[in-house]
Amino acid sequence: MTILYPQAYWLLFFVFVFVFMYRSKDTLKKLFSSKMFDNIIVGKDKNKLNFLWLILSMVFLIIAISSPVISKKPIKVPQQSEKFVVAFDISASMKVEDIFPNRLKFSKLKFSELLDNLKDERVSLFGFSSQAFLISASTGDYESLRLLSKNINQEYVSTSGSSIYELLKALKILKNSQTAVLVFTDGTDETNFDKSLKYAKQNNIKIYTYMIATRQGGTIPLKNNQQQKDQNGNLVVSSANDKIKNLSINSGGAYLRYSFEKNDIKKLFDNMRQKLQANKIKIKTIKQDMYLYQVPLGLSLVFFLLPFVGRVR
């Protein structure tokens, strides 16, 4: 048995002082009300039994405060240590409705399916367009992540194009030695990913792309039922930019086109688990202590109440 707070036994000093003061009836009268005094000093013969109950109550209370425990053999529990990043492209082109209900909303649905398949992984959430920003730091609270992703809003973010390079630079805030990032995107409007690939390799970042766009593409809706046009007044058509596939594969990641199958996102994430070197199992040691303070605390209460439920005269 182990005592967590042995310093509590210094309180016994006050118990000894109290016993010493018991010798003087006049001194006790000054400390206690007449009603309490009658429970401590009973009858003309100064029966000491009730006083004994009070002393025992104080002693057991001190024992309870010291918190005695019985330590059992600690158990070892395997604990996943993976940390992944999920990033949403929130540029204007993600409003295109070539995939129902639109590209961004579809990516949120796929992310929700992904969360249903996670267990011990910790996920960081980012949004990016021409700039990138952190939505949620690394967490295993999947319901919070689900709620945050549902509330991603394009209205208050600069959505003039999107940049994978800006996303990769933003990941440095996580200070991970290596990172796997799953990107929900239509491929962005970039034509050359050499700069992004170089940065990814230098910083040990593996890029996994979930392509959400058709090759035929669609127009970009604006407010008031308008469609985005270029400088010449022609409708802007946004389609899948498959050039991002080489970026994903050459960074050590993977590339997957959208589908309506529920298991496709799970397969992509399983690939992330396998390739990421941080996919290790840590062993966490959990102590199994049995706390015994309830026993002396209960006895303290019983001894304290004895003078009130039955006087000995």
Please state whether 11 falls in left (phi above 0), alpha (psi between -120 and 50) or beta.
alpha
Three-state DSSP class for 283? strand
239, 214 contact by CB (below 8 A): yes
Other Cβ atoms less than 10 A from the Cβ of 277: the count is: 10
- pLDDT per residue as tens digits for the range 274-294: 877 544 556 667 776 788 888
pTM exceeds 0.75, yes or no: no
Instruction: Give the model confidence (pLDDT) of 78-133 as tens digits.
Output: 555 567 899 999 999 999 999 999 999 999 999 999 999 888 788 999 999 989 99
Domain spanning 82-279: CATH superfamily: von Willebrand factor, type A domain (3.40.50.410)
The stretch 1-27 carries a mean pLDDT of 74
Query: Is there a contact between 125 and 145 (Cβ–Cβ < 8 Å)?
Result: yes
**Domain coordinates of the chain in residue numbers?**
2-72+290-309, 82-279
Q: What is the pLDDT of residues 165-198, one digit of tens each?
A: 999 999 998 887 778 999 999 999 898 999 999 9
Residues 6+ apart with CB under 8 A from 241: 186, 187, 188, 189, 190, 213
Which strands, in side-by-side order, build the sheet including 2-3? 2-3, 68-80, 281-291
258 Cβ contact partners less than 8 Å away, ≥ 6 residues apart:
99, 106, 110, 210, 211, 212, 213, 264
